[in-house]
Amino acid sequence: MGIKILHTADIHIGVENYGSFNPKTALNTRVEDFLNSFDIIVNHAINNNFDLVIFAGDAFKVQSPNSTHQREFAKRVNKLSENNIPTILLAGNHDITSKYYEATSMDIYSALKIKNVYVIERAQNFNIETKNGLVQIIAIPYILKSHLLTYEKTKGKTIEEIDKYLIESLDYIINKFISESNLNLPLIGIFHLGIDNAVLGSEKDLMIGKGFTVPLSVVAKQEFDYVALGHIHKHQVLSKKPLTIYPGSIERIDFGEENDDKGFIIVDLEKNNTTYEFIKLPAREFLTINIDLTNINDEDINNFILNKIEEKDVKNKIVRLKYTINFEKTYLINDKDIREKLKDTFFFKIEPNILDSRTKNRSRNYEINESVSNKPIEALKKYLESIQIQDDFKKDIVDRANKLLEKVFLEK
């Protein structure tokens, strides 16, 4: 048995999608979901006598969390501290402000010098002596391009040139830290960033125009015994040698993650023999019910919807009911009956897609609404999916839109 490590990331306390205010706790019910999952993680580390906990970034949804969310996160960090479990808090993109000189949401923990808590807001290498041996750490928080724009080397550079400079700088720093390490002892890399070949989750909508990705080879150096990543919400193993893993977010953010398992990673760290296990969390379930009513008899339409809902287990789930219907038959829908059928859900929304022959059978896409008003790329993708256009053209349009938004962000 080696050194026992628990690796988690992307807790995002403050996400309130589909939730409501709970007067008993003074918290949003979705915030409670995230805290409940976080509690399971903390208790697992304590009850199983772990040697080290790695939190690879994004404690909060926003860079300036309110005092209630700060308090709830601090309670759980303090619980790990009181149980003498060293805990690494890496700053992610949601923890760092765009102004280089401003404090991050993690600064309070380093200022208070909490026992057993290591706050990482700048690239650094250091050692932690656990109860089962020494672990060498190389940790780099999220890098904001706007921080580098103050440097002479990046002034007047194109986006592509800045990305290249960032990647080269990151590679140099990691190699320098590795050269200062004792390769006879366990060495861990901890990074909050996107990797070129990673499969994206809902974070792609939260980071429009602000992010950049790096090649896997930059972080998955053979000298590492484990590489702990954060930032991507979908759990995935990018490399087996060295083990390079995104644990994913601890709760589902939206319907884009409906089919994703949520959990955390436990690692048995040994030199040249590190193993891991993904532990699933009982995250809040999302469910989409798709119903096509265009060929259903008039007298059967409403019951058809109710029966389709009845076939599903909707209790305590976040449910999206999507049905397609011809405009002239919309009067047959009894909205009250449908809502009654969905009353046991945690949350539900109804998205009708109405086909109107008066407008040459063009239907309104109800997914393009105020819910994506702050996600322009997501709205663009949904629009492109609704029209006849070649896939390569779609990709080109989205790529150009991303570059345009990123240019606007950099100019600001």
Query: Residue 10 pLDDT more than 60?
Result: yes
Higher pLDDT, 97 or 319: 319
Phi then psi for residue 268, to 5 deg, are -105, 100
Band of the pLDDT at 159, cuts 50, 70, 90?
confident
- Check: pTM over 0.85? Answer yes or no: no
Lowest mean pLDDT among 12-16, 114-118, 404-408: 404-408
Higher pLDDT, 359 or 176: 176
Band of the pLDDT at 207, cuts 50, 70, 90?
very low
Which among 367, 298, 295, 357 has a CA at the least distance from the CA of 333? Answer: 298
Band of the pLDDT at 64, cuts 50, 70, 90?
confident
Which among 32, 24, 26 has a CA at the least distance from the CA of 283? Answer: 32
- Domain boundary assignment for the chain: 3-280, 286-411
CB 265 within 8 A of CB 247: yes
Band of the pLDDT at 206, cuts 50, 70, 90?
very low
Higher pLDDT, 5 or 328: 5
Mean pLDDT of the chain: 87
Residues 6+ away with beta carbon under 8 Å from 331: none
Band of the pLDDT at 376, cuts 50, 70, 90?
confident
pLDDT in tens, 314-361: 999 999 999 999 999 999 999 999 999 999 999 999 999 999 766 554
CATH architecture, domain 3-280:
4-Layer Sandwich (3.60)
pLDDT in tens, 264-285: 999 999 998 999 999 999 999 9
Lowest mean pLDDT among 51-60, 185-194, 390-399: 390-399
Exposure string over 175-205, b if 16+ CB within 10 A, otherwise e: eebbeebeeeebbbbbbbbbbeebeebbbbb
Look at residue 165 in the predicted model and tell me its pLDDT: 85
Residues 6+ away with beta carbon under 8 Å from 363: 324, 353, 354, 355, 356
Look at residue 100 in the predicted model and tell me its pLDDT: 58
Pairing of strands 318-326, 275-280: unpaired
Query: Looking at the DSSP assignment, which residues form a beta bridge with residue 158?
Result: none
Long-range contacts of 209-215 (CB under 8 A, 24+ apart): 209/402, 209/405, 209/406, 209/408, 209/409, 210/93, 210/144, 210/145, 210/406, 210/409, 211/93, 212/145, 212/163, 212/166, 214/166, 214/167, 214/170, 215/167
Look at residue 85 in the predicted model and tell me its pLDDT: 97
CB 79 within 8 A of CB 42: yes
CA 162 → CA 68, 147, 203, 302, 389, distances in Å?
Answer: 38, 12, 22, 57, 32
- The arithmetic mean of pLDDT across residues 358-366, rounded, is 54
HSE, side-chain direction, 13 A CA sphere, residue 345: 27
Question: Residue 110 and residue 91: Cα distance in Å, rounded?
Answer: 12
Lowest mean pLDDT among 10-24, 53-67, 332-346, 387-401: 387-401
Look at residue 109 in the predicted model and tell me its pLDDT: 75
CA 40 → CA 43, 263, 264, 358, 389, distances in Å?
Answer: 5, 10, 10, 54, 46
- The arithmetic mean of pLDDT across residues 107-111, rounded, is 73
Pairing of strands 27-28, 21-22: antiparallel
Question: Residue 43 and residue 41: Cα distance in Å, rounded?
Answer: 6
181: which 2 tokens? 């390490």
